[in-house]
Amino acid sequence: MPMSLLSKLFRGRRPARADAGVCPAPLDLHAFTERYAQALRALWPQARLRVGHGARLADTRIDWSLPDGFAATQFVASGYRRYLDAPEALERVLAEQVEAARALQRRHALGAQAGDDDAILPVLKTRGWHEVALQQARAIGGGAGIAFVVEALAGDLVLSFVEDRADSMDYLSPSEAERRGLAPDALRARALRNLQRFLPELEIEGGDGRYVLRLDRNYDASMALLFEHWRERAPVRGEPVFAIAARDELWLCGRDDDEGVQRLGEAAAEISRTSAYGLSSALFVWRDGALRVLED
């Protein structure tokens, strides 16, 4: 996401840091990555870790595994950029990185222990995606059928469902949902209940009525569906307005914040056009417990 979009959204809104002042020179990428690796080793002494550096910032990663079969690769670039934006917040950024690692490990444990239905989660897609999927199904002889459940959500957004396990992520098919006795309402309720497990990992950046939500780059946008569960952490003026521009981008302000709504519209147009996981260029209002397209 272009940092200029965030700068516009938060212009004049970021609170001054109480600990702002003279800071030591920022850690370079290698030192930051090693600090993160040390934090992982402290939490999981039995872990096997390997740090990898490539030609680009985006290539830097930590591969780690645990004796129970858990294995993950975590890329460091996003955390390092957040650190460079606020070098005095090193410990907070490292704590966020470690919490992301905890979330991965918890998901693995859940996948190993949970029943089938506990792995079902909601994902936001677009009508365009659905149409392309139908065309592909017809091209390979699938007729008008489709291999996953899709329901209309709001505007050009649709809702689908995946089974997210430690070793795979597969779309839930209508036939499989029927086999499990999950009618549409029950399926949606189950998926949202499962998504609530990730509420402790939801990060809310910003303040004064303008926010960007962060989760795991898979279900960030889906968190809009759980707004009632976290709305007290993100107060806004007027009806809540969302930009749901990509799978990993969820922005929020209040309808009475005219400038904020304008910034969200600009961000939605840019991100939905350029993101590899683009969703909608529209804005959505939360009304009567559901998302609706924001009308001008």
Of residues 193 and 16, the one with the higher pLDDT is 193
Last residue of a domain, one of 70, 86, 113: 113
On whether both 30 and 95 belong to a single domain, the answer is: yes
In a domain, 2, yes or no: no
In a domain, 20, yes or no: no
In a domain, 5, yes or no: no
Residue 13 has pLDDT above 70, yes or no: no
Q: What is the pLDDT of residues 51-95, one digit of tens each?
A: 988 777 777 888 888 888 888 878 788 788 888 888 888 998 898
CA distances from 167 to 98, 101, 113, 270 (A): 21, 16, 13, 33
CA distances from 21 to 24, 83, 235 (A): 10, 16, 29
Q: Which of 147-151, 167-171, 231-235 has the highest mean pLDDT?
A: 231-235
On whether both 248 and 170 belong to a single domain, the answer is: no
On whether both 281 and 218 belong to a single domain, the answer is: yes
On whether both 143 and 217 belong to a single domain, the answer is: no
Closest CA to 227 of 209, 259, 252, 210: 252
On whether both 108 and 183 belong to a single domain, the answer is: no
Task: Say which residues have a Cβ less than 8 Å from residue 66's Cβ, sequence separation at least 6.
Answer: 44, 46, 47, 48, 105
On whether both 63 and 126 belong to a single domain, the answer is: no
Q: What is the pLDDT of residues 103-112, one digit of tens each?
A: 777 766 665 5
In a domain, 10, yes or no: no
Residue 21 has pLDDT above 50, yes or no: no
Distance CA 184, CA 196 (A): 19
Residue 15 has pLDDT above 50, yes or no: no
In a domain, 21, yes or no: no
Last residue of a domain, one of 196, 231, 263: 196
Confidence grade of residue 2 (pLDDT, cut at 50, 70, 90): low
On whether both 234 and 188 belong to a single domain, the answer is: no
How many of the other CB atoms lie within 10 Å of CB of 122? 23
Show the DSSP H helices in the chain as ranges. Answer: 3-9, 29-43, 77-85, 90-113, 127-139, 174-179, 184-195, 227-230, 258-274
Last residue of a domain, one of 177, 196, 215: 196
193 within 8 A of 117, measured Cβ to Cβ: no
Residue 136 has pLDDT above 70, yes or no: no
On whether both 52 and 90 belong to a single domain, the answer is: yes
On whether both 192 and 229 belong to a single domain, the answer is: no
Domains of the chain: total: 3
Confidence grade of residue 135 (pLDDT, cut at 50, 70, 90): confident
In a domain, 156, yes or no: yes
In a domain, 15, yes or no: no
On whether both 174 and 215 belong to a single domain, the answer is: no
On whether both 236 and 157 belong to a single domain, the answer is: no
In a domain, 18, yes or no: no
On whether both 109 and 120 belong to a single domain, the answer is: no
Distance CA 97, CA 79 (A): 7
- Which range of residues forms the domain containing residue 142? 116-196
